[in-house]
Structure 1
Amino acid sequence: MAETSTDAAASTDVTAGAPTAPMATAAEPTPAVPTAPESTAPGRTVLVRYFAAAAEAAGLEEELIEITGDGGDAATVGALADLLVARYGPAMARVAANGSFLVDGVVRRDRAALVGEQVDVLPPFAGG
């Protein structure tokens, strides 16, 4: 019968005479480096979709816009509204003043709200 010697660090198979490697231990996981959410980045590319009067003012239904706030601040709804008014003029100013901005599907009326991946620009709606 073949003899086998066992050691805590390594074992040797007496019949073959070759040492075997010790058992490997799991490495300590490297802690994740925290990163800021994308929506707080100073600048970002946003898909802006226009509807009804907003589409008429812009002359298109959607576009990708690189947006940054004043002085490198975070990209906000207010910064986007100002950019759109500067780009498309008085018709867009009326939409921006009275309409709605949906940021990733949520209405944002606060100009300081951060933009997301997609912003829908909606004109004011009449009725009740």
Structure 2
Amino acid sequence: MAVQVRYFAAARAAAGHDEETVEIGSSATVGDLESALGRENPALAQVLRRCTYLRDSVAVRDRSLPVAPCAVIEVLPPFAGG
């Protein structure tokens, strides 16, 4: 399953780009996606632990929730010290 991942603020800086398309399994959770995104980028992995995710514009705080069905995941680090 292909998912478009969009990065904002510190996540964008750590990833080195605004967005990417990621292939994940159809049963992957948000936590699985987070692990896959940070696997080869330790700086991004560190930022991701503090992030909130939007799954097709709906906030997801429980990383055990499945990514599917979803077209876009947005990665939002804490803003203004939040």
Equivalence for 1:88: 41
Tell me the amino acid that sits aligned with residue 123 of structure 1. Answer: P
2:66 aligned counterpart, secondary structure: coil
- Provide the rounded CA distance (Å) in 2 between the counterparts of 1:87 and 1:50: 16
- Report the CA distance between 1:127 and its aligned residue: 5.2
2:22 aligned counterpart, secondary structure: strand
C-alpha offsets along residues 32-88 of structure 1, whole Å, 9 cap, x if unaligned?
A: xxxxxxxxxxxx1000000111111111001110012xxxx7121011000011032
Tell me the amino acid that sits aligned with residue 83 of structure 1. Answer: A
Residue 55 (1) aligns with residue 5 (2)? no
Residue 117 (1) aligns with residue 74 (2)? no
Equivalence for 1:45: 2
Tell me the amino acid that sits aligned with residue 38 of structure 2. Answer: V
Determine what percentage of the aligned residue pairs are the same residue.
Answer: 49
Higher relative contact order (CA 8 A, sep 6+): 2
1:81 aligned counterpart, secondary structure: helix
C-alpha RMSD over aligned residues? 1.6
- Provide the rounded CA distance (Å) in 1 between the counterparts of 2:54 and 2:20: 15
- Report the CA distance between 1:103 and its aligned residue: 0.6
> Which sections of structure 2, spanning at least 5 residues, go unmatched?
none
- Report the CA distance between 1:96 and its aligned residue: 1.4
Question: How many residue pairs get matched?
Answer: 80
Tell me the amino acid that sits aligned with residue 79 of structure 2. Answer: F
Which structure has the larger Rg over C-alpha atoms?
Answer: 1
> Which sections of structure 1, spanning at least 5 residues, go unmatched?
1-43
Runs of 4+ in 1 over 4 A off after TM superposition: none
